[in-house]
Amino acid sequence: MSSSRRSRPRRSLRLPFVLAVSALLAACGKPAESPAPVRSVRTLVVAETGGQLEREFAGEVRARTESRLGFQVGGKVVRRMVDSGQTVRKGQPLAQLDAQDLRLSQDAARAGVAAAEAQATQATADLRRFTDLKAQGFISQAQLDRYQAMATAAEASLRQARAQAGVQGNQAGYATLVADAPGVITGVELEPGQVVSPGLPVLTLAHDGPRDVLFHVPEDMGPTLRGLHGRAGGVQVRRWGTSEWVPATVREVAAAADTLTRTYLVKADVASARGFELGQTATVRLMASVRAQEGVRVPLQAVAEREGKSVVWVLDGNSMTVKPVPVVTADVVGNMVLISRGVTPGQELVTAGAHVLSPGQKVRRYEGRIGVSQPAASSAAPAASRS
């Protein structure tokens, strides 16, 4: 009887101990995994036909006409009257050379004119006298012809001396560099004391008038821009810091790509649109139908590598989940890649945000504006942008 009574307290103490250990083990267990976040992605839809390319490029506002001014004579610069960014009027002096030698040459030319005039006067008087003597029969016709030739040569020498004096006078005037049109000085490459040679550009003058926006496009965009040449509103331009798009016309496309950057220089005419200041940064937006010969062109960031293969992420619009699909890529031009096999019309491809995706992950379409989309060719499928 006494032994059973002593065993009961032991069993009653064992139960709280087991409960405490169970609670401690439960606290140290692995917490439940949180669901993957819903990512925002940009997409484009592969369509049967048609499609539109929309891309944006950085540009710079420049004057339609820019003159690189230089002295027509050489010499030492003694004065510069303008600075970069200064507005000038037509005929305004811009810089001055030391004209002492030019003035001496001008004086020498004037002295030559005076000497030629004296010789011509003497020759004319001699011819008049010998003509009278010939009429009286005192000299022969041969002598008269000789004096006639002398008078003609003296007149020619006088004309030559006057022409040379005019040239020297112009040379002296060229010692002052003047603006040939109203505008703004955008470049200065001379300082007082510098010795310049004839024709060396020392100042850049941007003429007042229409403005162009200059921008560069990759080689694959050259034919597209040439197709828009002269078309009103072929591109749209937005000044930096503003939200207003202004229609512009592609006025000029470089005939050859730059040897270093492999890009084409394009000039878009914004005519006399207000607010476009020289040197201002601008954004050029291009929207045009584009077709590749085969496959579909997508932004380079739309293609990822998974298990050693190139894949694109395809969005299921019903479940709003993504999955990787293997593709075969062709050439890469600029920031666009050509997919020759692996995509079909109607598929919605992720073009931005693919690097953070996993199979079956929930996503949502990005609500911002898409800046890049390209269609496929007629043999495959063009891509239409979607956000």
Tell me if residue 159 falls in helix, strand or coil.
helix
| pLDDT, mean of residues 146-171 | 90
For residue 124, count other CB atoms closer than 10 A to its CB: 14
What is the per-residue pLDDT across 224-239, written as a single tens digit (0 to 9) for each? 888 888 888 888 999 8
- Please give the helix or strand (H or E) that residue 92 lies within, else none: none
Read off the pTM.
Answer: 0.55
Say if strands 66-70 and 201-207 run parallel, antiparallel, or are unpaired: antiparallel
pLDDT tens figures, 170-179: 888 889 999 9
**pLDDT value of position 68:** 93
Q: What is the pLDDT of residue 23?
A: 57
Fold match, 39-52+293-386 / 70-98+175-206 = no
The CATH architecture that domain 70-98+175-206 belongs to is Beta Barrel (2.40)
In the beta sheet, which residues pair with residue 75? 196
Nearest to 285 by CA among 374, 382, 372, 220: 372
The Cα 374–Cα 335 span in angstroms is 11
Tens-place pLDDT, residues 332-343? 766 777 777 777
- Kindly report the CATH number that applies to the domain delimited by 39-52+293-386: 2.40.420.20
* DSSP letter assigned to residue 138: S
For residue 324, what are the contacts with CB-CB under 8 A and spacing of at least 6? 304, 306, 311, 312, 313, 314, 359
pLDDT reading at 130 higher than 60: yes
Domain boundaries, the chain: 39-52+293-386, 57-63+209-288, 70-98+175-206, 100-173
Topology classification of domain 57-63+209-288: Elongation Factor Tu (Ef-tu); domain 3 (2.40.30)
Q: Which of 41-55, 164-178, 207-221 has the lowest mean pLDDT?
A: 41-55
CATH architecture of 100-173: Orthogonal Bundle (1.10)
* Residue (of 353, 367, 368) closest to 322 by Cα position: 353
pLDDT at 144 over 80: yes
pLDDT digits (tens, 9 = 90+) for 77-115: 999 999 988 999 999 999 999 988 888 888 898 999 999
Percentage of residues in the chain having pLDDT higher than 70: 80
